[in-house]
Structure 1
Amino acid sequence: MEMSELTALLTREGLALLDETGSVESSADVARSVSRLRAAGHSPDLVSAVVGQARLRVKARPKFGEFADRMLFTRAGLEQATRLSVATMHAIRLRRAGITHVADLGCGIGGDSLAFAGAGLAVDAVDADEVTSAIAAYNLAPFPDASVRQGTAETSLPDEGAVWLDPARRTAGHSETTRTSAADWSPSLDWCFEVAQAHPAGIKLGPGLDRDLIPDDVEAQWVSADGSVVELVLWSGELARAGIRRSALVMQAGETHEITAAADADDEPVRPLGAYLHEPDGAVIRARLIGEVARMLEAGMVDEQIAYLTGDAALTSPFVQSFRVRETMPAHVKTINQALRAHGIGRLEIKKRGMDIDPAAFRKKLSLKGSAAATLILTRTTSGRVAILADRV
């Protein structure tokens, strides 16, 4: 979105027109809406802004739910925004630590600030981009204790309270952006770490951050939501919990589960494939807490380099997807097809780990006929490369 479009939109007429336009679900809806609004005599800037926002509101619903229909976005801002359920967990941590004021430096469209303000915190939100900060101001307007201004994180440090940092990890822009290296983040990672030494802070980063860059004196928390690892947050000061340096927070179907440790967990020994195979959640893998989960499940590793667990106990947990093993066989197409036919399997989920196989291409080689369903897991075990026919628990 360009400033001319935002200026046209942020009027009584523009916002009323946006509400009247309603949902724009598809490219065909976009074309119809543009034609209708232009025929009604509205300016190109206003039409572009209204239709663009109506489309983004639809795309924002998985992240913001019903709130999306009263928010404004940029395409890049929506892609990079924290989903509201995750931001709420950030806000809860701040409240539990006794924080009453937070500076959100690099607020984007205001996803985290919305949760902070909704939790009753006073919020000072700052973003370097003029359009983005104006959109954040609109989104936070219902909260009297939230303020937004354009500025840089480096010139906006508060005298007191907590600091929330979300360094820009992509090139500048409101639509198409690309990832940059840590050396090019704004503000820089080193500056963020310096701030975290002086203030209670949360630093939101990508979950794939090089672990060697994580300071020893912070709590590193990997978060997954509905099966996807969405972020790594480094917590410092009062926001870091005593004795905890590694955490995996798993959010699934409205429920939240967490496993914590003082350090990376030691893995359990490798053992032969048992009656059950367990796939740890991505946050558990990133946090290197697989060993903790293995001990919960009375399980061992299938291979030293493979993030699958196996055991004979009929146990599962929120930190894994569990499968009951039906049959194990060599990872040969002919042998697998024989097993699929014997079990009448017509619907097959394919998973792989530790094998250079494209599941989509591999599926084309399989004979799937019948009404039964199963999961095929292609991996390495103590017996070498195997195919495991299994059922989700």
Structure 2
Amino acid sequence: MGRVAASESPDTPTAPAGETAAFQALLTEEGARLLAELRDHDPADELALATRLRRDHSPALVSAALGQARLRQRAAAKFGASDAARMYFTPDGVEQATRSTVAAYRARRLAERGVRRVADLCCGIGGDAIELARAGIEVLAVDRSPLTCAVLRANADALGLADRVRVRCADVTEVDVGGFDAVFADPARRGGRGRVFDPEAYSPPLSWALRAARRVPHAALKLAPGVPHEALPADAEAEWISVGGEVKEAVLWFGSGAGGAVRATLLPGGHSLVSEPLPAPPVGPVGRYLYEPDGAVIRAHLVAQVAQRLDGRLVDATIAYVTADALRPTPYARAYEVTDVLPFNLKRLRALLRERGVGTLTVKKRGSAVDPEDLRRRMRLAGPAVATVFLTRVQGAPTMLLAARVAA
């Protein structure tokens, strides 16, 4: 694939009249000046600001610029303030785009495999295409929305990546991926009624993405983190990724003989835990410390690996809490020092919290039907102390664990 400037892609059909007119106006000198003026605007002053700006600019342009300024502010959490201030977004694009931390990590993995040309299918506004290009990879970015493609072109230009990103507005199922080193696919996981959980209800479905992945030497398919293990193909590595302790996505990796492996990766640190044959961890009484495995570890079914590293045991065979008698450092779980192990009894818990002057209570639960917000209200908290309560089961018995977070 030769390099084609993003703004000159010959493969992009003309968008329907009026669909991208408001957006294209933002790319003019007038639109750029207006966006620069709005860079640090306060949303609380938006009404007065809009009234003033309409004296010198058309109402349509002011409305488009204000909307774009709001999207840039929202996007800073995903893309960083510097990139977000230069990029362009759509509401769905901000919501669905890959966080730059995750996209950069994935791009590095592809580059380390020797990938130099990628077909980015269902590319959206370019969260992944941008990081692939920054990793030195040439990208064909494909999406069926003319507006989304226009936004991606503008983003590639704004970030100085137009020579590595070629945009095509097309149905991804009709794109020939032959000749590419890799495919990256991010099927839509939202429908008219919200999130879609069945992989075959993705748009396009997972079965299509799997066929595309097997036509090239390497592939990465982005999935919802709740994808069931039984839906995963045997010839792929399955990876769950969390950022700051929050699980963001699952990825299927093809190529390099990684079939059947399971991985949990924690960003921004880049720690990866890989599956290995292990017996089920032992179950036993609560020790001095309780470990709460990262969500990616739990989704990847790698709690046994964490228990082994901690010389720990489970508090219950069906609960993903690990307990141990010694404090050991691990990036894969949060550590708490247990102060009390009590049978489940809310009156007793309230009395204990009052006795200790606990005014701030974090409620965590696993294996309990209690609503955390309702419990906090019923505790009638007051005082300067801070505590965490775990509502769970210990060897089958409903149990409350009072604990304090410790650095591990």
The TM-score normalised by the length of structure 2 is: 0.89
- CA deviation map 1:304-337 (0-9, x unaligned): 2211111112124111111100011122122112
Aligned partner of 2:385 in structure 1 is 372
> Aligned-pair distance for 1:338?
2.3
From 362, 370, 377, the equivalent of 1:349 is: 362
Aligned partner of 1:296 in structure 2 is 309
Cα 1:150–1:86 shift into 2, 3 Å: same
Report which stretch shifted further, 178-187 or 136-145: 178-187
1:186 aligned to 2:203?
yes
Structure 2 segments unaligned to the other structure (5+ residues): 1-17
Provide the C-alpha distance between the structure 2 equivalents of 1:266 and 1:68, rounded to a whole number of angstroms: 47
> Aligned-pair distance for 1:45?
2.3
- Whether the aligned pair in 1 keeps the contact of 2:200 and 2:207 (CA below 8 Å) is no
Other structure's SS at 2:369 match: coil
Other structure's SS at 1:315 match: coil
Aligned partner of 1:98 in structure 2 is 114
Aligned partner of 1:115 in structure 2 is 131
> Aligned-pair distance for 1:207?
0.3
**What amino acid is aligned across from residue 146 of structure 2 in structure 1?**
E
Provide the C-alpha distance between the structure 2 equivalents of 1:69 and 1:244, rounded to a whole number of angstroms: 41
**What amino acid is aligned across from residue 35 of structure 2 in structure 1?**
L
- CA deviation map 1:231-252 (0-9, x unaligned): 00000013x64x761000011x
Provide the C-alpha distance between the structure 1 equivalents of 2:92 and 2:240, rounded to a whole number of angstroms: 23
From 249, 267, 271, the equivalent of 2:284 is: 271
Q: How many residues align?
A: 382
Report which stretch shifted further, 99-108 or 151-160: 151-160
Provide the C-alpha distance between the structure 1 equivalents of 2:342 and 2:48, rounded to a whole number of angstroms: 55
Aligned partner of 1:147 in structure 2 is 166
> Aligned-pair distance for 1:156?
1.9
Provide the C-alpha distance between the structure 2 equivalents of 1:350 and 1:222, rounded to a whole number of angstroms: 25
1:59 aligned to 2:79?
no
**1:1-393 correspondence runs (5 A):** 2-26=19-43, 28-40=44-56, 42-65=57-80, 66-141=82-157, 142-143=160-161, 144-158=163-177, 159-171=179-191, 178-180=194-196, 181-199=198-216, 200-238=218-256, 241=258, 245-251=261-267, 254-262=268-276, 266-382=279-395, 384-393=397-406
> Aligned-pair distance for 1:2?
4.6
Q: After TM superposition, what 4+ stretches of structure 1 lie above 4 angstroms from structure 2?
A: none
Other structure's SS at 1:140 match: helix
Provide the C-alpha distance between the structure 1 equivalents of 2:352 and 2:260, rounded to a whole number of angstroms: 46
Provide the C-alpha distance between the structure 2 equivalents of 1:93 and 1:60, rounded to a whole number of angstroms: 24
Cα 1:131–1:273 shift into 2, 3 Å: same
Provide the C-alpha distance between the structure 2 equivalents of 1:9 and 1:160, rounded to a whole number of angstroms: 34
- Whether the aligned pair in 2 keeps the contact of 1:23 and 1:55 (CA below 8 Å) is no
> Aligned-pair distance for 1:341?
2.7
**What amino acid is aligned across from residue 345 of structure 2 in structure 1?**
H
The TM-score normalised by the length of structure 1 is: 0.92
- CA deviation map 1:216-242 (0-9, x unaligned): 11000000001210000000013x64x
Provide the C-alpha distance between the structure 2 equivalents of 1:293 and 1:260, rounded to a whole number of angstroms: 11
- Whether the aligned pair in 2 keeps the contact of 1:105 and 1:152 (CA below 8 Å) is no
Aligned partner of 2:5 in structure 1 is none
- Whether the aligned pair in 1 keeps the contact of 2:340 and 2:403 (CA below 8 Å) is yes
Provide the C-alpha distance between the structure 1 equivalents of 2:119 and 2:41, rounded to a whole number of angstroms: 34
Report which stretch shifted further, 12-21 or 355-364: 12-21
**What amino acid is aligned across from residue 94 of structure 1 in structure 2?**
L
**What amino acid is aligned across from residue 44 of structure 1 in structure 2?**
P
Provide the C-alpha distance between the structure 2 equivalents of 1:201 and 1:157, rounded to a whole number of angstroms: 14
- CA deviation map 1:107-129 (0-9, x unaligned): 10000011011111111111110
> Aligned-pair distance for 1:25?
4.6
Larger RCO (alpha carbons 8 Å, 6+ apart): 2
> Aligned-pair distance for 1:90?
0.7
> Aligned-pair distance for 1:191?
1.1
> Aligned-pair distance for 1:13?
1.2
- Whether the aligned pair in 2 keeps the contact of 1:284 and 1:290 (CA below 8 Å) is yes
- Whether the aligned pair in 2 keeps the contact of 1:326 and 1:390 (CA below 8 Å) is yes
> Aligned-pair distance for 1:383?
6.1
> Aligned-pair distance for 1:54?
0.3
- CA deviation map 1:126-146 (0-9, x unaligned): 111010011011111221121
